[in-house]
A and B are shown apart, each in its own frame.
Chain A
């Protein structure tokens, strides 16, 4: 074992490193799909085994972890954890509801737009955790069925998250691996995301929207909400908004200032924590910081950590190159066919499996195609195909994205059930429409 850990070993337990890495990778992915073991645990166990069995050295494993992705995720999580205490999210949701005179369809649209915009800049799960309770409250007050609203919010969070570099983990990973900036993502993806948003809500109007009714008296009660009272800490609100604005400005100027998004996000989080805790007693500071740190989604972060190591294992072993070859053979080496195959396959797969491990595997695979297609720069459309497919595909089923399950869980607690097939019947066709639109967009703009 010592020899294996220290040097490149030809054989491990009588198997070639290629086999060991592949078996580990397949076993971990299979266990992730069964949902029997927490995904952070299984990814870390897999990563540990990859090092112990000598697939890679400890040093290589450290190098394989993309700290830019981890830092960006952590930084944004911390910023949200501090900001949420100000009441900003409730304020915006109630304000938006009153802007449409508490009309049921108007509220559905406004809550979806709010969710999409927040999701574009924040983690999708956090966004729905903050906005869904407001939706449940308002639908209860209006005595309308919450299901259509929650369904629409699931779509909005996944669609909105696709629009920017920081909106959804696949984009963060792609951005970090390719050096594509916040602006690159915005310019490439936001136009089609706006079109997809509109195209999604037209069918929703015909399925549910036109049947939604609320009594005038109930609407008056909702109009009586005072959104200003939702702001629980005005000082923190100003600090949070300032830091968020500066962080987003930093992302936009990423190329000019030459600083990676992770640094910008973590620095922003640190400054916000400093402002929030300035002048407070040491005990209170410790309590505040502890709360902000412990509420970060460590399961997601540790899952990423393990996955980066595992994917590096199969990359080092040569499996990724092999898979790339197989994919290229299947598409006949045709660039356009490859791009569209990535789009559709990512969408359908992401509807059923976690898109994070999928994208983590696809990134080196696409990179391995660079020589065939004439260098890294030529790969651009493939990245957008992967992003659109993996992010939007998550809408297809109830298990397609973490945000979907979080919404379903919250709805369940409030007495509305989300069933897999019932959701699928409307969601899967709508997801396919969004992918068809992405297909057309990619063909016209990039292929």
Chain B
């Protein structure tokens, strides 16, 4: 058996000018919580993470170090949260994206990829060694798929 790539080359990504609304639509359609953001040349420039989006919806006092331990006393309804969401949905994703963090290359060993996922990464971008072009994504489900035996399929 040849060593088939463990990562997924058929993945969703965002352009840095896409809006938050574009990003959330894509997240829901593709059932992913982390999306890579690329520039016009296809180079990885950041990650748009659901976690970061939730942080924007929350008061700063709750997400900072030594902040509020809980918010049970706030009586905001879903409608009010929606209003907060509406305030940011036309902003470009680059305002909310985070550093790419860990990236891997097409030649990175499967063991290293499993280690990154074990350490808590949701999805890891795969970029070319020269130029940092985004060529794939690897998430836990990709690894699981690659590891399944013929019989289990």
Chain A residue nearest in CB terms to B74? A225
A133-141, A181-189, A383-391 - interface stretch? A133-141
In the assembled complex, the Cα of A105 lies from the Cα of B63 at a distance in Å of 26
Assess whether B54 is interfacial by the CB under 8 Å rule: no
Does B60 sit at the interface, judged by CB under 8 A?
Answer: yes
> In chain A, residues 207-249, which have Cβ atoms closer than 8 Å to a Cβ of chain B?
221, 224-230, 232
Q: Which residues of B contact A90 (CB under 8 A)?
A: 68-69, 73
- Contact call A140/B76, Cβ cutoff below 8 A: no
Which of the listed residues B65, B72, B76 has the most CB atoms from chain A within 10 Å of its own CB? B72
When distances are taken between beta carbons in the complex, the residues of chain A under 8 Å from B65 are: 413
Residues of chain A contacted by B56 (CB below 8 angstroms): none
B57 within 8 A of A: no
Contact A133 B68 (CB under 8 A): yes
What A residues does B118 contact at CB under 8 A? none
| Residues of chain A lying within 8 A (CB to CB) of residue B64 | 133, 136, 410, 413-414
Chain B residues near A133 (CB-CB < 8 A): 61, 64, 66-68
Cβ–Cβ contact B66 & A227, under 8 A: no
Whether a CB of chain B sits under 8 angstroms from the CB of A14 is no
Chain B 38-73 residues near chain A, CB threshold 8 A: 59-62, 64-70, 72-73
Q: Judge whether B80 and A230 touch: CB under 8 Å.
A: no
Asked if A225 and B66 make an inter-chain contact with CB atoms under 8 angstroms apart, the answer reads no
A414 adjacent to B74 (CB under 8 Å):
no
> In the complex, what distance in Å separates the CA atom of A141 from the CA atom of B59?
8
Which residue of the partner chain, among B61, B70, B80, contacts A414 with CB atoms under 8 Å?
Answer: B61
- B76 and A221 within 8 A (CB): yes
A1 smallest CB distance to B (angstroms): 46
B75 interfacial by beta-carbon distance below 8 Å? yes
The distance in angstroms between the C-alpha atoms of A140 and B64, with both chains bound, is 13
- Does A374 touch B at the CB level, under 8 Å? no
Across-interface contacts of A129 in B (CB, < 8 A) = 66
Are B76 and A414 in contact, with the CB atoms below 8 A? no
Q: How far is the CB of A29 from chain B (nearest CB, A)?
A: 30
Residues from chain A with a CB closer than 8 A to the CB of B61 are 133-134, 136-137, 140, 414
Please determine whether B60 and A232 come into contact, CB atoms closer than 8 angstroms: no
Q: Is the CB of A415 within 8 A of B60?
A: yes
Residues from chain A with Cβ under 8 Å of B70 in the complex: 87, 230, 232
- How distant is the Cα of A228 from the Cα of B75 in the complex, in angstroms? 12
Shortest beta-carbon distance from A210 to chain B in Å? 26
In this complex, what residue of A is CB-closest to B72? A229
Taking a contact as CB atoms under 8 Å apart, the answer to whether A134 and B68 are in contact is yes
Chain A's nearest CB lies how many Å from the CB of B28? 28
Are A225 and B68 touching (Cβ within 8 A)? Answer: no
Q: How far is the CA of A230 from the CA of B71 in the complex (A)?
A: 7
- What B residues does A227 contact at CB under 8 A? 73
Per-residue interface assignment for chain A, residues 5 to 18, with 1 indicating a CB less than 8 Å from any chain B CB and 0 otherwise: 00000000000000
Considering the chains assembled together, what is the distance between the CA atoms of A87 and B70 in angstroms?
A: 9
Q: Using Cβ atoms and an 8 Å threshold, which residues of chain A touch B74?
A: 224-225
With both chains docked as a complex, state the minimum distance between the C-beta of B97 and any C-beta of chain A, in angstroms. Answer: 18
Q: In this assembly, does A32 line the interface, its C-beta being within 8 Å of a C-beta of chain B?
A: no
Chain B residue at smallest Cβ distance from A130: B66
Point out the residues of chain B lying under 8 angstroms from A134, CB to CB.
61, 68
B75 and A224 within 8 A (CB): yes
Docked Cα-Cα span, A90 to B66, in Å, equals 13
Closest to B60 in A: A414
Answer yes or no: A94 CB below 8 A from chain B CBs: yes
Minimum C-beta distance from B52 to chain A (A): 16
Cβ distance B98 to chain A, nearest Cβ, rounded Å: 17
Q: Which of A222-279 contact B (CB under 8 A)?
A: 224-230, 232
Q: Is the CB of A225 within 8 A of B75?
A: yes
Residue in A closest to B77 when the chains form the complex, CB atoms: A224
Q: Which residues of A contact B66 (CB under 8 A)?
A: 129, 133, 410, 413
| Contact in complex: A230, B60 (CB < 8 Å) | no
**B80 / chain A contacts, CB cutoff of 8 Å:** 221
8 A-B pairs with the lowest CB-CB distances in the bound complex, closest first: A137-B61, A136-B61, A229-B73, A229-B72, A413-B64, A230-B73, A224-B75, A414-B60
Pairs A–B under 8 Å by Cβ, sample size 17 = A87-B70, A90-B69, A133-B61, A133-B64, A133-B66, A136-B59, A136-B61, A136-B67, A137-B68, A224-B75, A224-B76, A227-B73, A229-B72, A229-B73, A232-B69, A413-B64, A414-B64
16 extra interface residue pairs, beta carbon distance < 8 Å, beyond A230-B72, A230-B73, A414-B61: A90-B68, A90-B73, A129-B66, A133-B64, A136-B59, A136-B60, A136-B64, A140-B60, A221-B76, A225-B75, A226-B72, A232-B70, A410-B64, A413-B60, A413-B65, A414-B60
